[in-house]
Structure 1
Amino acid sequence: MAAGFAPPKLKDFILTEKLGSGTYATVYKAFRKTDSREAVAVKVVSKKSLNKSSMENLLTEIEILKTVRHPHIVQLKDFQWDSDNIYLILEWCSGGDLSRFIRSCRILPESVARRCLQQIACALQFLHEKNISHLDLKPQNILLSGNVLKLADFGFAQYMSPWDEQQALRGSPLYMAPEMVCRRHYDARVDLWSVGVILYEALFGRAPFASRSFAELEEKIRSEKPIEKALVLQAVQKDQDGERSAALSLYCSALEHFVPAIHYETDRQRKEALRQKVNQYVSRAEELKALVRSDNKITFEKAKSTRNILIEMSRDQPRLLAALEVASTAVAQEESGAEDYDTLDLYQQSLGELLLALAAESQGRRRELLHSEIKSLMSRAEYLKELIKMRETQTDESLKKDAAAESVRSSCCLQ
């Protein structure tokens, strides 16, 4: 680590790598200077950066964390200070944050998202029973310790009874409740909105109201336009712009919303209108699928020769060679018509190994070919994922039609 960027000195700990930084604080991984060599996270807050408001927030954070003990809340082990900094010594969570976990998986299976939600809700219920509101819930502030999630970063937390109202804007815009974004009074229930946004992001890989500015975010939240319609509009625009692959992906994402909407719609006319829209979008997605397949054919043929060269160049790297053979198996299965999760798993296995190999590979021809191969396999995996999604949408809708028909037949038999 270069001079001038070395972490500060702390009597009982050795501070090592920097984990992250914000406006007021920098977080380091550290080890206790004892035989146990216990790993901790140390949040270093520069006194110079603190104004009156941020100092009050810090003192509230320390007070809250010193008094709460819960398996799904990061533990404050101690706090210290010197002439320059205040140090919060926190429980070490080796799994990083939920945001990184979601990005690494792209989207979380419903069973995993459900477990995450249960753990977050458990911590939040505990806090609200003590009249504590977090006010900055987001995936970056939820840490993983093994399979356990823990709420962290209580820098905006406040003691608030359910009926208390606040006006100060706190938290991160993408996860703020409408009453906060639109600058109205808000109460402790804003945490529940944030949990909903986190669940959406876990299931779909992105926040529902992603925006480039605060004004745009406010406009989207105020809009009565359902999310699925916004996705369809984006799909149509990409389609018109000739971006077929992006349009196909957006149509598939929109269909993930529309199919459950059909299931839960009680009005028969609206249900039928939704069903017609789904059929229309599925039809266009099928056309795009054929066009994208045609576009990909030439690219994939070129990639095949690259893969063969790379295999020959990797005879001295058994692990790399094994990953390339898994990739070849995935490609062969897909091209033989096995467009399923087993094939997708093979792509993901090979990509995990190949990305590790790329990180270790020095500059040269093999690195260039490896980089090209990874891009090609990612493209194939994404395309396959869209095909699976579209097929599941069609199957789901077909099953619902069959169930409805069976219900009608049963009713007729009973009369």
Structure 2
Amino acid sequence: MARAGWAPPRLDEFILTERLGTGTYATVYKAYRKKNTREVVAVKCVSKRSLNRVSVENLLTEIEILKTIRHPHIVELKDFQWDSDHIYLIMEFCAGGDLSHFIRMRRILPEKVARIFLQQLACALKFLHDHNISHLDLKPQNILLSAPENPQLKLADFGFAQYMSPWDEKHVLRGSPLYMAPEMVCCQQYDARVDLWSVGVILYEALFGRPPFASRSFAELEEKIRSDRVIELPSRPRLSPECRDLLQRLLERDPLKRISFEQFFAHPFVDMEHMPSPESLGKATSLVVEAVKKDQEGDVSAALSLYCKALEYFVPALHYESDARRKEAIRAKVGQYISRAEELKALVMCDSKSLLRQANPAREILKEMAKDKPRLCAALEMASAAIAKEEEGKDDGDTLELYQQSLGELLLILAEPAGRRRELLHAEIQALMARAEYLKDQIKMREAQSMGKEALAESVRSSCTLQ
């Protein structure tokens, strides 16, 4: 609530209560609409006396941008008003505070939680990018959460945002130094890619509990940012290869080498296709209908693949659903589909392994013919090692990597002149590709089932906690 001897500005339609935060030229209050709905909003109060020419431009741009955009992961501007002393932006109220506070309270976020937030942030950025808008001040304090439980991320504070084009690069220093791209700190030309650097810093902070350039002074921060040293990612906590790859590509000092927006939106860790959304359940259901049809037709392999693809949408559907009864119904269905997928997987593995284990006499002949080619010999040995590991039951990522390395070598060697050895080599490559694809499918199916089981367990734990 307001401090004794101090009162917020007065606004006819609203009762302004506690102060939520203070910025360079604005203070934000929680407020209630006086009439009918008693709607809760956030009111951003800008004192006209505090405005200089630049801050007026920033405010006008913020109002212009927010008036034109509506997106589930961007804070909504409901209205704006003014009087002789203040300009008021009436905004959507976010009860969950900001991402900075959320991270501090938990010290670090598990990769799965960070990924859900990143997907939502990517969704907001894609919308802005499609409308040629750059935020230019991305930081955890400007990312709000809709509620304390099951929060939805909401991008806020467009005070520095700009309509930008590749030919409209700026030299103006904008944003917060800890999250600022090197080209901005170093007063070089910059463009929309500065937002991608900031996303990298935010993701790093969420996963490791502090930004990569945490410093005691601006001089120390500037020195670290200007350095040419590659940003080392801590070894703990352990991250998935996709997450590490994305972090390294976002935190690339040279904007020309940094990941592009298109690459970012398509990156497997961002995986926007499978983010929790209102469409997740519909996509999962249509895949299940196809899976049941193939199952009834006796096409076991196709049915298994479709059940697993459906699980990849059911998991985000479980995350997205807030209604307890509908969540329970989804949970029951997911349990059934996981059980059926496991039954089908046993059948498929039995059939596929017997086919893959059939002797390949051509491989032995090819090995004999490769004795004068050390590189070919090494690639074939690598393939044999992968097959041996798989047949021992080690059907994991390391075995798949061995297959991929051997295939990479063999495909380079395939360019040799036509002849018996080239024919055998071609047949061997096709056989190895089939094995590698089969193994890739097995890993993906296992991951989908595991995700489904984890989501079920997590969803059961959440409902127990709520009860």
Specify the SS of the correspondent of 2:223: helix
Give TM-score, length-normalised by structure 2: 0.50
Using the TM superposition, give the Cα deviation of residue 130 of structure 1 relative to its aligned residue in structure 2, in angstroms. Answer: 1.1
The structure-2 alpha-carbon separation of the partners of 1:68 and 1:407, relative to structure 1 and needing over 3 Å to count, comes to closer
1:153 to 147, 157, 160: 157
Q: 2:240 and 2:76 mapped to 1: Cα distance?
A: 42
Using the TM superposition, give the Cα deviation of residue 225 of structure 1 relative to its aligned residue in structure 2, in angstroms. Answer: 3.0
The structure-2 alpha-carbon separation of the partners of 1:178 and 1:11, relative to structure 1 and needing over 3 Å to count, comes to same
Q: 1:91 and 1:31 mapped to 2: Cα distance?
A: 11
The corresponding residue for 2:62 is 61
1:197 to 194, 201, 220: 201
The structure-2 alpha-carbon separation of the partners of 1:111 and 1:16, relative to structure 1 and needing over 3 Å to count, comes to same
The corresponding residue for 1:213 is 217
Specify the SS of the correspondent of 2:44: strand
Using the TM superposition, give the Cα deviation of residue 128 of structure 1 relative to its aligned residue in structure 2, in angstroms. Answer: 1.4
Specify the SS of the correspondent of 1:20: strand
The corresponding residue for 2:360 is none
The structure-2 alpha-carbon separation of the partners of 1:116 and 1:42, relative to structure 1 and needing over 3 Å to count, comes to same
Contact conserved, 2:33 with 2:39, CA < 8 A, in 1? yes
Contact conserved, 2:208 with 2:237, CA < 8 A, in 1? no
Q: 2:116 and 2:91 mapped to 1: Cα distance?
A: 24
Q: 1:406 and 1:144 mapped to 2: Cα distance?
A: 40
Q: Which amino acid aligns with 2:146?
A: S
Q: 1:21 and 1:207 mapped to 2: Cα distance?
A: 22
Q: 1:256 and 1:227 mapped to 2: Cα distance?
A: 16
Q: Which amino acid aligns with 1:164?
A: D
Using the TM superposition, give the Cα deviation of residue 188 of structure 1 relative to its aligned residue in structure 2, in angstroms. Answer: 1.1
Contact conserved, 2:111 with 2:239, CA < 8 A, in 1? no
Q: 1:214 and 1:149 mapped to 2: Cα distance?
A: 29
The corresponding residue for 2:332 is none
Contact conserved, 1:137 with 1:171, CA < 8 A, in 2? yes
The corresponding residue for 1:281 is none
Q: 1:56 and 1:76 mapped to 2: Cα distance?
A: 18
Number of residue equivalences: 254
Specify the SS of the correspondent of 1:155: coil
Using the TM superposition, give the Cα deviation of residue 103 of structure 1 relative to its aligned residue in structure 2, in angstroms. Answer: 1.0
The correspondence of residues 232-311 of structure 1 with structure 2, limited to 5 A, is: 253-256=234-237
Q: 2:74 and 2:241 mapped to 1: Cα distance?
A: 33
The corresponding residue for 2:122 is 121
Q: 1:148-178 CA distances to partner (integer Å, 9 max, x unpaired)?
A: 1110000101111234200000000011111
The corresponding residue for 1:165 is 169
Q: 1:192 and 1:163 mapped to 2: Cα distance?
A: 18
Is 1:7 aligned with 2:8?
A: yes
The corresponding residue for 1:313 is none
Contact conserved, 1:162 with 1:189, CA < 8 A, in 2? no
The corresponding residue for 1:134 is 135
Q: Which amino acid aligns with 1:143?
A: L
The corresponding residue for 1:79 is 80
Q: Which amino acid aligns with 2:216?
A: R
Q: 1:216 and 1:148 mapped to 2: Cα distance?
A: 35
The corresponding residue for 2:45 is 44
Q: 1:46 and 1:64 mapped to 2: Cα distance?
A: 20
Q: Which runs of 5+ in 2 are unaligned?
A: 246-393, 407-427, 433-467
Contact conserved, 1:164 with 1:188, CA < 8 A, in 2? no
Q: 1:34-53 CA distances to partner (integer Å, 9 max, x unpaired)?
A: 12110000000000000011
Q: 1:133 and 1:212 mapped to 2: Cα distance?
A: 29
Contact conserved, 1:143 with 1:149, CA < 8 A, in 2? yes
Q: 1:149 and 1:31 mapped to 2: Cα distance?
A: 22
Sequence identity of aligned pairs in percent?
Answer: 73
Using the TM superposition, give the Cα deviation of residue 403 of structure 1 relative to its aligned residue in structure 2, in angstroms. Answer: 4.3
Q: 2:3 and 2:215 mapped to 1: Cα distance?
A: 37
Q: Which runs of 5+ in 1 are unaligned?
A: 232-252, 265-398
The structure-2 alpha-carbon separation of the partners of 1:221 and 1:258, relative to structure 1 and needing over 3 Å to count, comes to farther
Using the TM superposition, give the Cα deviation of residue 402 of structure 1 relative to its aligned residue in structure 2, in angstroms. Answer: 11
Q: 2:195 and 2:125 mapped to 1: Cα distance?
A: 8
Using the TM superposition, give the Cα deviation of residue 3 of structure 1 relative to its aligned residue in structure 2, in angstroms. Answer: 5.1
Specify the SS of the correspondent of 1:61: helix
Q: 1:191 and 1:212 mapped to 2: Cα distance?
A: 24
Q: 1:388-414 CA distances to partner (integer Å, 9 max, x unpaired)?
A: xxxxxxxxxxx9x99489959x98xx9
The structure-2 alpha-carbon separation of the partners of 1:37 and 1:406, relative to structure 1 and needing over 3 Å to count, comes to closer
Give TM-score, length-normalised by structure 1: 0.56
Is the radius of gyration larger for structure 1 or structure 2? 2
Q: 2:3 and 2:231 mapped to 1: Cα distance?
A: 47
